[in-house]
Amino acid sequence: RLKPFNRLQVILQHLKMSKQTDSTAEVLLEKRGGAAIITLNRPKVLNALTLSMIQQIYPQIKTWEQDPETFLIIIKGTGGKAFCAGGDIRAIADAGKVGDRLARDFFREEYILNNAIGTCKKPYVALIDGITMGGGVGLSVHGHFRVATEKTLFAMPETAIGLFPDVGGGYFLPRLSGKIGYYLALTGFRLKGRDVLKAGIATHFVESEKLPALEKDLIALKSPSTENIADLLNSYHVKSKVDQEKEFVLDEHMEKINSLFSANSMEEIVKKLKQDGSPFAIKQLETINKMSPTSLKMTLRQLREGASMSLQDVLMMEYRLSQACMRGHDFYEGVRAVLTDKDQSPRWKPAALEEVSDEFLDDCFKPLGNNDLKL
């Protein structure tokens, strides 16, 4: 018989090995045919991303990248409701309040993973079926291919909880056509289905029920090139008829979005919205008035600066901002109001845009010396 300690070791070893295929694991990592597959597996919490999931996914992507038998990487979520609804924000808030390392480590390791996806040498296919927000956007948007479905619900809702659209939002949002990215970032507006493609966030649109067949065909490809994968995705894309005739939800507002959200400051944007006075403008004002003034100013500057930066420099900047939010007030208050007490009445400090000084903002963007993110 095994001594108790040895038996524990054997059990732990066994758990470690079965973790990858165990249906209770938070993330499943497997190899099928020429495809490597990452499955986010926390359906009860909409596949929210934890630090331990990040720590499992990152080294695996790096290993697959070097493997001559791996030709593409597929990432998807389980449960049918969400690809990934974001990072585990509540855990981060709890950690930040007591000065726990998680508030540093989570963002650092998440951004390192975002960069690994953005620089991945193997074609990376994200099946963004269902809710895709915040951290879930970071797991998908920087890869080669993003396949949306009629169930996709995209948003970057961070300004409502005292954060900013991170995970490389400062890179991809200002690069969307016109000022769509600024509009999505500041208001948290939600895009659905084919609109995610039309906004330039997804590369393909496929009906949700066709995804298992698409996945099977991707796995069956023999030593495919990026072009072969693109051809297969295109063949599914052109056959998808759902909502094909519908015009882009923001089409009729694009002119206004492009002019109103091109201002150099938040105060200026608010002034322009007030002057415009149209039902659309008034609605945006109401939304913006609910958001953290600090987050709004931080976000506008993040996007304006990120527009001409590399993804690596953007992530370094965003890491500085994440730590500024951890030191501040609004993030904890936003999490309280939206996620914990759910009273939806955050008391922001400062409460007005005019009270968020340029000096304060400069401080948020300041280098962290040895603590800066290194990519």
Number of other residues whose CB lies within 10 A of the CB of residue 347: 10
Task: Pick the closest to residue 121 from 217, 30, 225, 233 (CA basis).
Answer: 225
Report the alpha-carbon distance of residue 187 to residue 41 in Å, rounded: 29
DSSP string, 242-271: TT-SPPPTTGGGHHHHHHHTT-SSHHHHHH
Q: Are strands 72-77 and 82-84 parallel, antiparallel or unpaired?
A: unpaired
List the beta bridge partners of residue 37.
30, 74
Question: Can you read off the two tokens belonging to residue 338?
Answer: 């939206």
Report the alpha-carbon distance of residue 103 to residue 278 in Å, rounded: 41
Task: Pick the closest to residue 111 from 368, 304, 321, 318 (CA basis).
Answer: 318
Report the alpha-carbon distance of residue 107 to residue 312 in Å, rounded: 14
The residues that are catalytic are 87, 135, 158, 166
**Is residue 35 classed as helix, strand or coil in its secondary structure?**
strand
End-to-end CA distance of the chain: 49
